[in-house]
Structure 1
Amino acid sequence: MMNQMQGQFRFAYFTDKYQETYEFYLKWLGLDLAHDWDRNEHDKGAVFKAGGGLIEIMLRPEGDEYRYQGLDYRISQGAFMVIQVSDVDELFNKYQSKGIPFKQEIVSQPWGHRSFSVLEPNGLILFFFEEQFKT
């Protein structure tokens, strides 16, 4: 049977804080920019590489005439991202030296992950972890 889901996973959301969010992912977290666009004042976005997936941020357009049917333009709530990294301690120290605000400082979890989380400008939590106990 052919796998229909062979593309990359992408977490996408709209933000009213587009420039602040863009700079947070690029400059503060140091994520690689896959691509971005600025078609007009109502159509801006960026895609960042994170782990084995992508994070896409888009300026939330004002006015129904700039919105596409089928998309949800509400500000994200209750969602968080989980990103596996190869050296969580090194990343934690790097972010700590930059003054990035932590939601939770680094901790070893009983289920075998070492992790920390940060809060991005829109209130989303980014949870970074490394597996300590490989099976």
Structure 2
Amino acid sequence: MHKNNGAFRFTYFTDKYDDTCDFYGKKLEFNLEHSWDRNEHDKGALFKVGAGLIEVLLKPNDEENRNAGLDYRIPQGAFMCIQVENIDQLFNKYKAMRIPFKQEIVDQAWGHRSFSILEPNGLVLFFFQEQF
């Protein structure tokens, strides 16, 4: 089996670029690995989360600056799962910060303790800790 040691990235476009970057960097305190601002149509940021990256890209507002091979629609039906070590501590921290929750903390039948939040684009971030 071929081993791929590259980093996994969840990448999406947003028209709420500044709000989204503030949410991940300042509110959730995810580490900003790299960002760029090449021009008004080409901005991006990489946030380190566990063994992967969340890549936030500014959605170009005109067809001239779009790549024909990419999908610029707002993510629907997608969500991110982020494994953490102390789920209760993180839940209480985000609760105190008034981060919008999709689901309060709960023990799942499959052995996870979890909660989920909504980021500025409506994308669900599902935080979990294994209980087994």
TM over 0.5: yes
Partner Cα distance (1:68, 1:110) in 2: 43
Partner Cα distance (1:114, 1:70) in 2: 38
RMSD: 0.9
Matched, 1:84 2:83: yes
Amino acid in the other structure paired with 2:13 = F
Where do 1:1-135 residues align within 5 Å? 1-3=1-3, 5-133=4-132
| Secondary structure of the structure 1 residue equivalent to 2:76 | coil
Runs of at least 4 residues of structure 1 off by over 4 A? none
| Secondary structure of the structure 1 residue equivalent to 2:122 | coil
TM-score (norm 1): 0.94
Amino acid in the other structure paired with 1:2 = H
Unaligned runs of 5+ in 2: none
| Secondary structure of the structure 2 residue equivalent to 1:21 | helix
Unaligned runs of 5+ in 1: none
TM-score (norm 2): 0.96
Partner Cα distance (2:99, 2:93) in 1: 9
TM superposition shift of 1:47: 0.6
Partner Cα distance (2:87, 2:12) in 1: 25
Identity %: 67
Aligned residues: 132
